[in-house]
Amino acid sequence: MQIVLIGPPGAGKGTQSVRLAEYLQVPHLSTGEMLRDACLRKTDVGLRANEAMQRGQLVPDELVEEILFERLEEKDCQGGSILDGFPRTVPQAVAFDAWLGKHQRPLSTVLELRVNKEELLERLSSRGREDDNREIVLARLDQYDELTHPLLDYYGKRSALHVIDGQGSAEEVFAQICSIVDARK
């Protein structure tokens, strides 16, 4: 199953997609993790992505697409995967649709994790990642509103989108996700 999780930073995408990947026995692909790894290893993509990431901005679409599409072609992803953090812009979603069409892989479902802003700020301030200081967090939330939020319309229009209430405990949120995913198996 090819599943996409969308949600602002701090909504629990990472936690929930790891669990879902384990449940469905498919790889969990986080573009944020891939990019952080590329930065640490100082690869070509890493060097080009580093500055935007430090500022809490999205990295250019073509960089993320390059790194993700290469990974999706690997053998372990043939049966599907859980995408955590991609697509994050409408142009990325359009490129992803083209990629899926070319590889004859259907998109099973898109899950939106919804959490209100006060709760997000509280969660992010206690996480302690390098890009989690207040100023950068606010920049990342702005980027979400401006660039990622329009994706919800994009997927909503073709009824691929399911909204999950992300405010509850990790168990409650995961139970909602499973009920949607199980119904589509």
Binding site for ligand AMP (CB under 6 A): 9, 30-32, 35, 52-53, 56-59, 64, 85-86, 88, 92, 140
> To the nearest whole angstrom, how small is the minimum distance from the Cβ of residue 185 to ligand AMP?
26
> To the nearest whole angstrom, how small is the minimum distance from the Cβ of residue 31 to ligand AMP?
4
Residue number with CB closer to ligand AMP (91 or 106): 91
Residue number with CB closer to ligand AMP (12 or 56): 56
**Residues linked to residue 5 through DSSP beta bridges, in sequence order:** 84, 111
Residue number with CB closer to ligand AMP (55 or 105): 55
Q: How big is the chain, counted in residues?
A: 185
**Residues linked to residue 114 through DSSP beta bridges, in sequence order:** 165
Residue number with CB closer to ligand AMP (48 or 105): 48
> To the nearest whole angstrom, how small is the minimum distance from the Cβ of residue 118 to ligand AMP?
19
Q: What single letter denotes the amino acid at residue 15?
A: T
Give the burial string for 84-117 (b: 16+ CB within 10 Å, else e).
bbbbbbeebbebbeeeeeeeebebebbbbbebee
> To the nearest whole angstrom, how small is the minimum distance from the Cβ of residue 17 to ligand AMP?
10
Cα 167 to the center of its chain, rounded Å: 18
Q: Is 76 exposed, middle or buried (0-12, 13-18, 19+ CB in 10 A)?
A: exposed
> To the nearest whole angstrom, how small is the minimum distance from the Cβ of residue 113 to ligand AMP?
12
Residue 102 parent element (H or E)? helix 90-102
> To the nearest whole angstrom, how small is the minimum distance from the Cβ of residue 13 to ligand AMP?
7
CA-CA distance, 29 to 88, in Å (whole number)? Answer: 14
Residue number with CB closer to ligand AMP (46 or 56): 56
Residue number with CB closer to ligand AMP (51 or 172): 51
